[in-house]
Amino acid sequence: MRAIVLISGGLDSLLAIKAIQKQGIEVLAINFLIPFLKDDLANNSIFFVKKITEQLGCKCKVITLAEDYLDMVKNPKYGYGKNFNPCIDCKILMLKKAKNVMSEFKASFIATGEVLGQRPMSQHKQALKRIEEASSLNGLLLRPLSALLLAPTIPQKKGWVKKELLFDIHGRGRRRQISLAKEWGVEDYPWPGGGCLLTDSNFCKRLKDLLKYDQLSIEDITLLKLGRHFRITSKFKLIVGRDKEENEKLISLAKKGDVFFEPKKMSGPTGISKGPVGQRLKDIAARIIARYTCLDKKVEIVCGTVSKRNQELILVKGMNDQQLKKWII
Ligand code: SF4
């Protein structure tokens, strides 16, 4: 028999894989790459997931979520958590995607590492039930770590899994998971979760701003993770690098139509602006760049297009912090 187990990389999902393997069932671990992962995770998660699943002795598949994930974030049926995290809809989307590959892998059911009562929005009894119903898994979704506290699933009723190898873990504590990990020799669990930017209040302010002006696309999400952001008008915004690495990233991400702002003879930040720009907006952008270049005297700021970055020279004094507050997101 085979089952699919969703793997996030956190300890609970690794224990879920182990719990299913201990039942003598072959596991395909599925990891979802969402557009809102912190950069260090986004860059390394495929490597980590492959490494862990190799150690656990199971196959793994990585599914990238893009436009459909964005659509869900813009309009989640079950709303947002404390920040902009649509956890219930997010899980439903992942489970629907996993359900689509059940027949390809000849899987009889799906399991997750969800623990009853661990997260306020998506892991109380009603939410777990809603997630199962909305993903149309109808009894084929097993949460082995909390299964003894939940309604019996088809794998339990049909005897595909043994009761003795299911658990009644609940709540936010980690004690039982850590002791199970020790008992089962699961030592290498590189990240404890928490890599989703939709739970980060600063990131979410920027995200809400783009949504408000209907300017969110997959490419913009990379930019949201970088620099300082300034909303000047409904159509015009400026993003300013905070260090050399961010300046270089901004340059590499600039698109046709974006305008660059950089100090001419001094070291300082690179800024790129999005949206149509007239002289007044250029002056504001130049003053913001000057603010992060030199505080006490006028600075020459060059601005120009992606193909010619030094088309125009603007001499300005840096904006003061009170003015800056008006624009910063
Ligand atoms: S924290 Fe992020 S990735 Fe995790 S369930 Fe919520 S929205 Fe999805």
Residue type, 323: Q
Question: What is the predicted pLDDT for the residue at 121?
Answer: 84
Both ends of the chain: CA-CA distance in Å?
Answer: 52
Q: Rounding to the nearest 10 degrees, give the CA dihedral for residues 182, 187, 192, 195.
A: -160
Q: Is 199 in the pocket of ligand 1 (CB under 6 A)?
A: yes
- Which residues have a Cβ under 8 Å from the Cβ of 322 and sit 6 or more positions away? none
User: Mean pLDDT across the stretch 239-254?
Assistant: 96
- Residue 211, domain member (yes or no): no
Question: What is the predicted pLDDT for the residue at 154?
Answer: 98
Q: Which of 34-43, 83-92, 255-264, 302-311 has the lowest mean pLDDT?
A: 34-43
Question: What is the predicted pLDDT for the residue at 190?
Answer: 61
Q: Are residues 139 and 260 in the same domain?
A: no
Distance 5 CA to ligand 1 centre (A): 17
Q: Which of 8-17, 34-43, 144-153 has the lowest mean pLDDT?
A: 34-43
- Which residues have a Cβ under 8 Å from the Cβ of 148 and sit 6 or more positions away? 163, 166, 167, 168
Q: Are residues 235 and 154 in the same domain?
A: no
Nearest-angstrom CA–CA distance, 98 and 94: 6
Question: What is the predicted pLDDT for the residue at 45?
Answer: 79
Q: Are residues 111 and 19 in the same domain?
A: yes
Question: What is the predicted pLDDT for the residue at 241?
Answer: 98
| Structural domain count of the chain | 2
Q: Are residues 115 and 170 in the same domain?
A: yes
Could you report the per-residue pLDDT of 57-83, keeping only the tens digit for each?
A: 999 999 999 999 999 999 999 999 999
Nearest-angstrom CA–CA distance, 31 and 50: 10
Distance 37 CA to ligand 1 centre (A): 9
Q: Are residues 50 and 193 in the same domain?
A: yes
What are residue 79's phi and psi, to 5 degrees?
Answer: 80, -175
Q: Is 83 in the pocket of ligand 1 (CB under 6 A)?
A: no
Reference 254, options 267, 241, 263, 268; nearest CA is 241
Q: Is 31 in the pocket of ligand 1 (CB under 6 A)?
A: no
User: Mean pLDDT across the stretch 193-202?
Assistant: 86
- Judge whether residue 153 has pLDDT over 80: yes
Question: What is the predicted pLDDT for the residue at 193?
Answer: 56
- Residue 212, domain member (yes or no): no
- Residue 214, domain member (yes or no): no
Confidence of residue 165 (pLDDT cuts 50, 70, 90): very high
- Residue 205, domain member (yes or no): no
The torsion region of residue 57 among left (phi > 0), alpha (psi -120 to 50) and beta comes to left
User: Mean pLDDT across the stretch 195-221?
Assistant: 92
- Judge whether residue 207 has pLDDT over 60: yes
Q: Is 222 in the pocket of ligand 1 (CB under 6 A)?
A: no
Q: Is 34 in the pocket of ligand 1 (CB under 6 A)?
A: yes
Could you report the per-residue pLDDT of 112-123, keeping only the tens digit for each?
A: 999 999 988 889
Question: What is the predicted pLDDT for the residue at 273?
Answer: 97
Q: Identify the sign of the CA torsion 151, 157, 161, 162.
A: positive
Pocket test of ligand 1: the residue of 199, 201, 207 to mutate, having most ligand atoms within 8 Å of its CB, is: 199
Q: Is 70 in the pocket of ligand 1 (CB under 6 A)?
A: no
User: Mean pLDDT across the stretch 258-275?
Assistant: 95
Question: What is the predicted pLDDT for the residue at 242?
Answer: 97
Could you report the per-residue pLDDT of 219-239, keeping only the tens digit for each?
A: 889 999 999 999 999 999 999
Q: Which of 89-93, 155-159, 219-223 has the lowest mean pLDDT?
A: 219-223
Question: What is the predicted pLDDT for the residue at 194?
Answer: 63
Q: Is 41 in the pocket of ligand 1 (CB under 6 A)?
A: no
Nearest-angstrom CA–CA distance, 55 and 274: 45
Question: What is the predicted pLDDT for the residue at 44?
Answer: 78
- Residue 206, domain member (yes or no): no
Question: What is the predicted pLDDT for the residue at 42?
Answer: 75
Average pLDDT over the chain, rounded to whole? 94
- Residue 131, domain member (yes or no): yes
Q: Are residues 248 and 316 in the same domain?
A: yes
Question: 302, 282 in Cβ contact below 8 A?
Answer: no
Supply 44's token pair. Answer: 């390394």
Could you report the per-residue pLDDT of 96-109, keeping only the tens digit for each?
A: 999 999 999 999 99
- Residue 216, domain member (yes or no): no
H helix runs in the chain, sequence order: 11-22, 39-56, 67-74, 87-100, 102-105, 125-134, 154-157, 175-184, 201-212, 218-224, 244-253, 279-291, 321-327
Nearest-angstrom CA–CA distance, 58 and 70: 30
Question: Closest residue (by CA) to atom 5 of ligand 1?
Answer: 87
Q: Are residues 180 and 238 in the same domain?
A: no
- Judge whether residue 293 has pLDDT over 90: yes
Give the structural domain span for 180. 2-197
Q: Are residues 136 and 60 in the same domain?
A: yes
Nearest-angstrom CA–CA distance, 33 and 251: 25
Q: Is 131 in the pocket of ligand 1 (CB under 6 A)?
A: no
Reference 144, options 178, 173, 181, 113; nearest CA is 113
Distance 65 CA to ligand 1 centre (A): 12
- Judge whether residue 169 has pLDDT over 70: yes
Q: Which of 32-46, 130-144, 152-166 has the lowest mean pLDDT?
A: 32-46
Q: Are residues 15 and 75 in the same domain?
A: yes
Q: Are residues 101 and 234 in the same domain?
A: no
- Judge whether residue 215 has pLDDT over 70: yes
Q: Is 4 in the pocket of ligand 1 (CB under 6 A)?
A: no
Question: At 181, which CATH number?
Answer: 3.40.50.620
- Judge whether residue 309 has pLDDT over 90: no
pTM here is 0.91
Reference 11, options 132, 240, 190, 207; nearest CA is 190
Question: What is the predicted pLDDT for the residue at 147?
Answer: 98
Question: Closest residue (by CA) to atom 3 of ligand 1?
Answer: 196
Index of the ligand 1 atom closest to the CA of residue 196: 2
Q: Are residues 152 and 241 in the same domain?
A: no
- Judge whether residue 189 has pLDDT over 80: no
- Residue 286, domain member (yes or no): yes
Distance 195 CA to ligand 1 centre (A): 9
